[in-house]
Amino acid sequence: MLEPLGVDEATFAVYHALLSHPDSTPEQIAALVKRPVPEVRELLDQLRKLELLVPTWTNPESEHAVHPRVGLTGLAERRRTELNKMLGELKEAEASAEVVAEQYNELLTARSSGDVELLKGRANASRRIEELALKARDTFWGLVPAHIDDTIHQVDRSPDFTLLERGLKMRTVYLQSMTSSKQALEYAATMHRLGGEVRATPTLPMRLLIFDQEIAIMPMDPENPTAGAVIHRTPAVVSVTLALFDAYWSRATEMFAPEDRDENAPLTPHEAEVLRLLAGGAKDEQVARLLGISLRTARRITANLSERLDAASRFELGVAAAKRGWV
């Protein structure tokens, strides 16, 4: 009932126990809610972050649960502010999409040039995209609003597999509906284990591929996948498509946990940047601030890297990463 406010069932149980038994210790709360003490301590930290558990004015060393009318109302107001901010960002993304559509319509009327290629028919488009993929150097981003099993039958035959083998950094956003397809889900999971970053979102505007952040590929007709494709190299168009991709990527949900990846798989951009910052002497707090992620996420990435490299300390992590050429 309170999940939209960030208060799940377990967190609420601890909150309710604190309201009913205000002087209880974590161990006593654990007995009341029938949960392990370590989990209760984590839930207490969550309540502090939600400002539902605060220091007592008369004794700063003790804490008390905030009255629900005050605490939950404050949470609702903060959540409303966050949602309004997200709505504003979504409007900006929609405006960017409209700009892409307008530029796309203008370019469709032009003949092929050095910056624009019109490829009629699915076969011609596929051959040209494969050719461009062979020349890709660093990155491959994609919005894929279709089931993977519509076109891919075996992972080792997928062009994605080849790109990952060459060490390209891959980010792909799929439709959440793809999770209903076992074959599509297994394909995405395999790409993730091999080092690709995979997210899902309820809707996507069209198919979009971006190589090396320099070449953008869109369908000639989003409603007709057999019509062909348009390839853009114009900096202005590529910049707008990158903004469109980033907007959907930032709002999409990660489909798999970082620890599911293969130990020998390439680093994700976040992992590579964390290693670089750690090698420069940055602390977890600095890493989190510079990457715009939470402290917990920064520590989790460091812990996952340490586990992958079997490192017991920051020093061992640096040595192991250097041996692999990661820093």
What's the predicted TM-score (pTM) here? 0.47
| Per-residue pLDDT reduced to its tens digit, 71-90 | 778 778 888 888 888 888 88
On the CB side of 324, how many CA atoms lie within 13 Å of its CA? 17
Ordered domains of the chain (ranges, CATH) = 3-66 (1.10.10.10), 112-259 (3.30.870.10), 267-323 (1.10.10.10)
pLDDT at 200: 87
Alpha-helical (H) ranges within 109-156 are 122-135
- Distances from the Cα of 239 to the Cα of 136, 171, 263, 287, angstroms: 18, 17, 34, 27
- How big is the chain, counted in residues? 327
Pairing of β 197-201 and β 253-254: antiparallel
- For the chain, the average pLDDT equals 79
- Residue, of 290 and 327, whose pLDDT is higher: 290
Three-class DSSP category at 324: coil
Reported confidence tier of residue 217, pLDDT bands at 50, 70, 90? very high
Residues in CB range of 39: below 8 A, 6 or more apart: 10, 30
Reported confidence tier of residue 263, pLDDT bands at 50, 70, 90? low
